[in-house]
Chain A
Amino acid sequence: MAYPHRHENETTTLLSRHMGEEKARHLDGWLERGGYEALRKAVDMEPDEITGVVKDSGLRGRGGAGFPTGMKWSFMPGADDDRPHYLCCNADESEPGAFKDREIMRWTPHLLIEGCLIAARAIRAGHVYIYVRGEFFPVIRILNDAVSEAYEAGYIGEDILGSGWSCDLTVHIGAGAYIAGEETGLMSSLEGRRAEPRVKPPFPAQHGIFGQPTTVNNVETLSAVPMILSNGADWYRQWGTEKSPGTKLWCCSGHLNRPGNYELALGAPLRDIIYDVCGGIPDGRDLRAVIPGGSSTAFLTPDELDCETTYEGLKEVGSSLGTASPIVMDESTCLLKAMRRIAHFYAHESCGQCVQCREGTEWVTKILERIEHGEGKMQDIDNLYDLCEQLTGRTICVLADSVVFPLKSSLDKFRDEYEAHILRDTCTAS
C-alpha cells in the first residue's frame, strides 16, 4: 500500500493529521491521539444542539453534491417522531478520480465511527449502516476491526459512555455498482435490492431505508464532524470561504509528479494545486486539460486554472468542485480517447431504469468509439450536442446528466480534437 504524500504546509492537516500512522487505526492508539473526545461531548448535548453547531460551521457534503450538512440533518423528523431513524454512511467511493474516503477509513477508521455516532445522535438514529464498496477489502478489514474494538469498549451499542443513549452500527459491503453510491441507489442496495435510484419525493428524511427516516452522508463529511464539535463552528470557518468553509481532502491523479491525497483549505487556485502541491506534470510537459472534481465534472482548459477551488468558484467557470478530484491530462493525451473511456464508464454503470441513460450512454460511447476508429462524421458532433440535451434533466437520477458535463465541455473546448479525428483521422495531441 502506498502512503499519502505530505504537503509542507501542515496547518491544514485536520482530517489527515494521522494518516500514515499505523497506530492510529487501533483504539488504544486512537485514544492516545484524542479520539472519542468529541463523542463524549456529543452525548451530553441535545440532538438539535449538535445539528446547530454543524449548521453554523457551514460544512457541506463531501460526496460530490455539496449540500449543507446541517440543513440535511434538520430535514429529519424531530423528537416527537417515534419511528426508527437511520444514518447511512456512504463509503461506496466509486467516482473516477476520487480516493479520499479510502484513506480516511484505512488510517483513521475510528474517526469515521466517531463522526457516524455523533451524526446519529443529531438525527436521532438508532442504527448506523456504513455501506462500503465491496472492492475495498484492505479497508474493510481495518474498519471491521475498528468497529469490533469500538463495540467492545462501549463506544457503540447500548448505553454509550454511560449516557443512556444507545446506537448500533453495522458494516455493509457492496458488490460492484457505481450507482450504489447515489443516495437512493445506496438505500435500495442496502435493502437487498438492485441498486436502482428512486424517484424523489418521497425524500429519504421522510421515507428512506425500510420506509423510515434516513440520512445519507459521505465518509469525509462525517469524519469532519468530531473536530467541528470539539472546536466549534467558528474554528472550522477559519479555513475556506464564507460559502465553502473548511478543508478538503484533494485527490490528485493523472499526469502529475506527485499524485495523491492532499488536505487543503478550500479556495486555493487550481493552478497552485496542480503545480505547487502536486509538483506539476512529469517531464515538463504542458497541461492540456483537467477535470477538476472527478469524472462527473466539466473539463477545464489551461487558461481556466486560476479559478477558486470552492463550490461557487468552480461553478463560475462552468464546472464543479464535486469530490475535489482533479484528473490532469498533459499534451500527449488524446482527448477523444479519454472522453470515450469516460463515457464507457457511465454506460457500464447505468442501472437501466430510464431509457435515456440506458440507451443514451451506450450510444454516446459507440459514437465516440467510431470516431476514434476513424469512421466519424461531422454530423456526429451535432448529434453528440443534441444527445447532451436529451440526457439532461429527464431521468430519475443524475447519472445521465453526469456524462454530459465532461462530454459537452469537451465538445465546446476541444472541438478541434473531434474534427481532427473525423476529418483527418489524426489526433491533436502532441
Chain B
Amino acid sequence: MSGGEGMSDGLHPAVAGSQPYMLADRQGSASRDEPLFESEEGRERLEKILSRYPSKRPALLPLLNYAQERNGWVSGSAMEEIADALELTPAYVHSVATFYTMYNRRPIGRYLVQVCTNISCHLNRGEEVMERFLQETGTRPGETSEDGLFTVMEVECLGACGFATVVQVNDEYVEDVTPEKVPGIVKELRDRAGQGGA
C-alpha cells in the first residue's frame, strides 16, 4: 500500500483522503456542483482513498471532504454520486453529512469566516468579535454577504484557546483577534479578493 506508481496528483494514498479543502484563495466563490468522479483525477482520488480501508463505508467522510474540495459545498447530487461510489443510499449519506458541522449544505461565500465564541474566546470578547465581523461584512450569522465574499458563522472551540479570540478564515487560523482588529482583517480579505482572479 505504500504507493509510488501512478500518483499523478502527487498524493500518497495515505493522505489522499485528508487533503485540506478550504483553499485559501478560491478562484471565484465556492458554489460549483460538478460531478466528482467523472474525471480521471476524481477516479484516481477515489481509488486511493478506497485503498486505505477494508470496506467502502469508511471512505464516506474523505469523499464528502473531496466534494467540498471540488465544489466548496456538499450538494444533493454530490451525495448521490458518493452514495453510488460506496454502495450506500443517498439517505444514509445525508444522515452522516448532516451530523457534522463542517459540511456546507449550501454554497458559501469566497471566505468562510468562523468565529469561536466558546469559553476561552468568550472570556476574550469573542462575541464582540463576531458582532464586528457581521457589521464589517454586512451579513447575518450563517448567511452569505450580498457581494458573495463572506459567510460568517459562530463555531465551537477551534483548539487554539491560548490565542483567543480565534477565527478561522477558510483554512487559515487567525489568532489573537480583538474587535479592533476586525476591520483590518476584513479589508485585507477584500483586497485579496480584488487581486485574485474573477
Residues in A lying within 8 Å of B, measured CB to CB: 1-2, 84, 93-99, 101-102, 132-138, 140-141, 143-144, 147-148, 151-152, 156-158, 168-178, 189-195, 209-210, 251-255, 259-261, 291, 295, 325, 327, 329, 333, 337-338, 341-342, 345, 348-349, 351
**Given A168-B1, A191-B58; A255-B123 close (CB under 8 Å):** yes
Pick 15 A–B contacts, CB within 8 A, sort by A: A84-B54, A93-B159, A135-B158, A137-B172, A140-B18, A147-B12, A148-B12, A152-B12, A172-B52, A173-B62, A189-B61, A192-B60, A253-B162, A259-B161, A341-B118
B-side interface size class: 35 or more
Nearest-Cβ distance from residue A346 to partner chain B, whole angstroms: 10
Nearest-Cβ distance from residue B185 to partner chain A, whole angstroms: 15
The reply to whether A327 and B100 contact each other, CB–CB distance below 8 Å, is no
**Given A135-B168, A168-B1, A175-B103; A148-B160 close (CB under 8 Å):** no
Q: Please measure, in the bound complex, the distance between the C-alpha atom of A327 and the C-alpha atom of B119, giving whole angstroms.
A: 8
The reply to whether A176 and B15 contact each other, CB–CB distance below 8 Å, is no
Residues of A within 8 A of B124 (CB): 254-255
Which chain B residue has the least Cβ–Cβ distance from A333?
B123
The reply to whether A147 and B15 contact each other, CB–CB distance below 8 Å, is yes
Residues of A within 8 A of B52 (CB): 168, 170, 172
Residues of A within 8 A of B65 (CB): 134, 173, 175
**Given A135-B168, A345-B156; A177-B57 close (CB under 8 Å):** no
Interface residue? B20 (CB, 8 A): yes
Apart from A98-B159, A135-B155, A337-B122, list 8 A-B contacts with CB within 8 A.
A1-B173, A141-B20, A151-B2, A151-B12, A156-B14, A174-B61, A210-B58, A253-B123
Residues of A within 8 A of B173 (CB): 1, 138
Nearest-Cβ distance from residue A426 to partner chain B, whole angstroms: 20
Which chain A residue has the least Cβ–Cβ distance from B173?
A138
Residues of B within 8 A of A2 (CB): 160, 162-163, 175-176
Nearest-Cβ distance from residue A125 to partner chain B, whole angstroms: 13
Interface residue? B39 (CB, 8 A): no
The reply to whether B12 and A96 contact each other, CB–CB distance below 8 Å, is no
Nearest-Cβ distance from residue B186 to partner chain A, whole angstroms: 20
Q: Please measure, in the bound complex, the distance between the C-alpha atom of A63 and the C-alpha atom of B50, giving whole angstroms.
A: 29
Which chain B residue has the least Cβ–Cβ distance from A189?
B61
Which chain A residue has the least Cβ–Cβ distance from B62?
A172
Q: Please measure, in the bound complex, the distance between the C-alpha atom of A141 and the C-alpha atom of B155, giving whole angstroms.
A: 22
The reply to whether A177 and B162 contact each other, CB–CB distance below 8 Å, is no
Nearest-Cβ distance from residue A209 to partner chain B, whole angstroms: 8
Nearest-Cβ distance from residue B30 to partner chain A, whole angstroms: 15
Q: Give the interface centre of B64, B119, B124, B175 by most chain A CB atoms within 10 Å.
A: B119
